[in-house]
Amino acid sequence: MPHKVKTLQGWYDEVWIEGNLDAIPKFLAPNARSRGIMGDMPFSIEDLTELVTMVRELLGDIEITLPITMEQDDWLSALVEIKSHSADTGDPVHVFGQVIARFEGNQIAEVYTGTDSLTLFEQLGLLPENAMAIMLSGNRLR
């Protein structure tokens, strides 16, 4: 497994699956920047720590795999598959995301992410089913 893929999978395994927040500096360069989690708003390591904690509280055991990866120079792009279940209802959760990361050595220095949050929140019961179709029809979620 190429070192960038191994590092990214390790990030998901140790931080997101195991919940080892102390491992964040092992994977992220000191001045690492992250965008995409909440739109175009940059995230700090402290923000990521809070995000990981909040998401893990919504889910049961988590499985994260990288079924497709592509590398070019210092960059890695990956399809991210997330399987879990709602901590509240036990209903299954299965969503996909994408990540593009720039590496400095063995650490992530810059990362852009996109996760299907709409489907995630539908599957958690926090949004109605077919929320996208409802909104595309011009209706508001109330």
pLDDT digits (tens, 9 = 90+) for 60-86: 999 999 999 999 999 999 999 999 999
If we measure between CA atoms, which residue out of 37, 81, 91, 15 comes closest to residue 60?
Answer: 91
Q: Would 142 be classed as within a structural domain? A: no
Q: Would 78 be classed as within a structural domain? A: yes
The CATH number that applies at residue 123 is: 3.10.450.50
**Nearby residues of 128 by Cβ (< 8 Å), 6 or more positions away:** 122, 134, 141
Q: Would 141 be classed as within a structural domain? A: no
pLDDT tier, 109 (very low <50, low <70, confident <90, very high otherwise) = very high
**pLDDT higher than threshold 80 for residue 141:** yes
pLDDT of residue 48: 83
Q: Would 38 be classed as within a structural domain? A: yes
**Nearby residues of 109 by Cβ (< 8 Å), 6 or more positions away:** 28, 29, 31, 32, 33, 102, 103
pTM for this model (two decimals): 0.90
**pLDDT higher than threshold 80 for residue 36:** no
Number of domains present in the structure of the chain: 1
Could you list the residue range(s) of the whole structural domain that residue 115 is in? 3-136
**pLDDT higher than threshold 70 for residue 103:** yes
What percent of the chain clears pLDDT 90, i.e. is strictly above it?
Answer: 76
How far is residue 101's CA from residue 113's CA, in Å, rounded to a whole number?
A: 8
Instruction: Name the residue with higher pLDDT: 125 or 37.
Output: 125
**Nearby residues of 105 by Cβ (< 8 Å), 6 or more positions away:** none
